[in-house]
């Protein structure tokens, strides 16, 4: 299971939110490169980079930060937030993204999202499945759609999607543990490579997610609040290559 730390960006700074609420914004570091290099120094190979300004503005905003992290580290970066057009995706990949994540676009403009799958390949395009209750949430989690999670995932699997990041919004940033039951449902209902996200609070949760079959796990606030140390992540990575 891949360990994927997260950096969420507002005004080019490393921040975290609780349950996706922008009013809960907390700045942890004004230098995302410093944070990314600290991850890299501990053997981390992947990074989940979220453009929260982009999610709110509905177009890519923090691509210069993406470019900086991509050129100054060896991290393989999955970039999401505000990718709403062909030009947004072109900028993301040209700025160094190894993968992009599309969530809202997959709900509101499915033809465009499917075109990205065809153009770039399923290994480059991750389906974002942010869920509120049992339905998909969009636009920086400010809206809840009428798309049921499992139906949404199954439909896109038929269109060639292979990877999904699923975040239970009620868990995100709360440090109360991930949505184990939800992930079990997804893994039983689909053959997608599932990247768990939201609520990770303790190192001991990682083996359980791995045993369930999660392909990756995104860890954010637990790192910044010291609930999971970088040394603990380094130990996990070295023991689970």
**Cα separation values, 167 from 18, 170, 186, Å:** 12, 9, 12
Identify whether the C-beta of residue 45 lies closer than 8 Å to the C-beta of residue 5. no
**Cα separation values, 110 from 37, 106, 209, Å:** 36, 5, 30
DSSP state of 168: E
Catalytic residue among 51, 78, 130, 172: 130
- Residue 8 annotated to the active site: yes
Mapping DSSP onto H, E and C, the string for 41-83 reads HCCCCEEEEEEHHHHHHCCCCCHHHHHHHHHHCCCEEEEECCC
- Residue 130 annotated to the active site: yes
**How many other C-beta atoms lie within 10 A of the C-beta of residue 46?**
18
Active site residue ranges: 8, 130
């Amino acid at each position: 299971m891949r360990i994927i730390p997260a950096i969420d960006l507002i005004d080019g700074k490393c921040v975290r939110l609780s349950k996706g609420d922008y009013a809960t914004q907390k700045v942890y570091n004004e230098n995302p490169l410093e944070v990314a290099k600290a991850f890299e120094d501990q053997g981390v190979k992947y990074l989940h980079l979220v453009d929260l300004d982009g999610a709110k503005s509905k177009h890519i905003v923090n691509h210069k930060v993406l470019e900086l992290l991509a050129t100054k580290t060896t991290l393989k970066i999955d970039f999401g937030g505000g990718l709403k057009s062909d030009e947004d995706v072109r900028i993301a990949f040209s700025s160094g993204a190894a993968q992009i994540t599309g969530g809202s676009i997959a709900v509101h403009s499915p033809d465009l999202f499917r075109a990205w799958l065809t153009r770039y390949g399923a290994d480059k395009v991750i389906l974002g499945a942010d869920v509120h209750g049992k339905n998909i949430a969009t636009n920086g989690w400010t809206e809840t759609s009428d798309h049921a999670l499992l139906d949404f995932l199954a439909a896109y699997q038929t269109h060639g999607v292979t990877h999904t990041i699923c975040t239970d919004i009620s868990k995100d940033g709360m440090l109360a543990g991930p949505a184990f039951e939800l992930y079990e449902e997804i893994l039983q209902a689909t053959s997608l490579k599932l990247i768990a996200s939201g609520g990770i609070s303790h190192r001991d949760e990682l083996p359980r997610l791995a045993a369930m079959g999660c392909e990756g796990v995104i860890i954010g606030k637990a790192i910044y609040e010291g609930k999971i140390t970088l040394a603990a992540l380094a130990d996990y990575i070295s023991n689970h290559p």
